[in-house]
A and B are shown apart, each in its own frame.
Chain A
Amino acid sequence: MQTKPPGRALQILLLCLLWASATQAQDLPPLTHKLTPIKTPSVAPELIFENMDEETVDLKDYRGKVVVVNFWATWCPPCRREMGSMERLYQATRDSKVEILAVNIGEDLDTVFSFLGTVEPSPTFPLLFDTDAVSMKKWKVKGLPTTYIVDTEGRLAYRAIGGREFDHPAIREAITALGR
């Protein structure tokens, strides 16, 4: 009996897995650890989306807290790589008035849920869904990931374009200082 060759879908899946593991292991640009202060802080744009429990989350309700607003997608390599460091930051700063809102761009709940199991440590902060990518223009995001730090008055305080090591001491100190 002749062995049937693997189907196209299986080949694609195997290639995807090979590519993902290979690109994680080699040739990846380093995550950096500097936040850029925004010289003339303005009020953060509107940010209202549903979370994983399909509850509406509004950035305005976080006044009095420092909020890390991160725009990301599961298919974006630096977004995936920085996600664990954001959870470590979240755990380390929970008593310091710091909140994280990670806004997924264009994907559905099932896709994001499957991804969460691959992140170590897995995120426990709110994940929001911008399925139509409408926030990109409002927040002047030109590439993923992009992250803004919103101060306790609801103003944009810092920006980071590209992946960061969010639990790096320099970033942690900059963020927690905003809450003091």
Chain B
Amino acid sequence: MLPVFYPAQAQQLQSVNDATGARSWSTTHAGVYFSLTQIRPEQGDAFYVNRGFSLEQIRPFTASCVYMTVLRNDSAAGVVHFVRDNWSISVEGEARAFKTVEQWVKQLAAAEASKSALIAFRWAQFPPEQEYEPGGDWNQGMLSLGLPAGQVFDITARWDLGGQNFEATLTGVECAN
């Protein structure tokens, strides 16, 4: 298959939710939309305490710089496939690792979270791997970046399509305080 050339990544957009103050960053590249929206620790606490976690169990996660993450195949040339472990973050140009969903589930299970709470946690996360058909397949889920409150960072989402690799980067993203 011959490589297809696409225009450069679209300009990064930012917005603030009037009601919650949560900030969002988004961009589009090669027909794929990518966005992050801050989830403040108290918002995360509220969500997970209602799912059966204690504050002590869930605080390590909710205080780890969590985002509502969206990836959507609006109009790519075919099926988009991603593995979240191929995504990367950097702080002042230095690469940082972040935990997988599986690692979080193990940690929460070790903290004796209930089975139903763990099921909710697992399926509320942004998928570790997925395929999106063009025309609107998408997911919305939580992504923990393991950074302190207020930390500014860059994040690059990566995906492949028909053997060609793509990436979209959001720069200057800030962890909620």
Residues of A within 8 A of B (CB): 8, 11-13, 15-16, 18-19, 21-23, 25-27, 29, 32-34, 36, 73, 75-78, 105-108, 131-133, 136, 142-144, 159-164
Residue of A nearest to B133 (CB): A36
Q: A162 contacts which of B119, B124, B139 (Cβ < 8 Å)?
A: B139
B165 at the A interface (CB under 8 A) = no
**Shortest distance in angstroms between B126's beta carbon and chain A's nearest beta carbon?**
8
Known: A32-B137, A34-B133, A162-B140. 14 other contacts (CB 8 A): A12-B42, A19-B46, A25-B19, A29-B35, A36-B137, A132-B115, A132-B119, A133-B122, A133-B123, A143-B126, A161-B132, A162-B72, A162-B139, A163-B140
Q: Is the CB of A161 within 8 A of B139?
A: yes
Cα-based distance from A162 to B126 in the complex (angstroms): 12
- Selected A-B contacts with CB under 8 Å, 25 pairs: A12-B46, A18-B19, A19-B47, A22-B19, A23-B20, A25-B19, A27-B22, A27-B24, A29-B33, A32-B72, A32-B137, A34-B133, A34-B135, A34-B136, A76-B124, A77-B140, A78-B140, A131-B116, A143-B123, A159-B133, A161-B130, A161-B139, A163-B138, A163-B140, A164-B136
Contact with A along B130-148 (1 / 0, CB 8 A): 1111011111110000000
B50 at the interface (CB under 8 A from A): yes
Interface size class of B (residues with CB under 8 A): 35 or more
A15 near B24 (CB under 8 angstroms)?
no
Contact present for B138 and A161 (CB under 8 Å): yes
State in angstroms the CA–CA spacing of A19 and B44 once bound together: 10
Q: Which of B72, B129, B139 has the most CB of A within 10 A?
A: B139
Residue of B nearest to A24 (CB): B19
Chain A residue with the shortest CB-CB distance to B23: A27
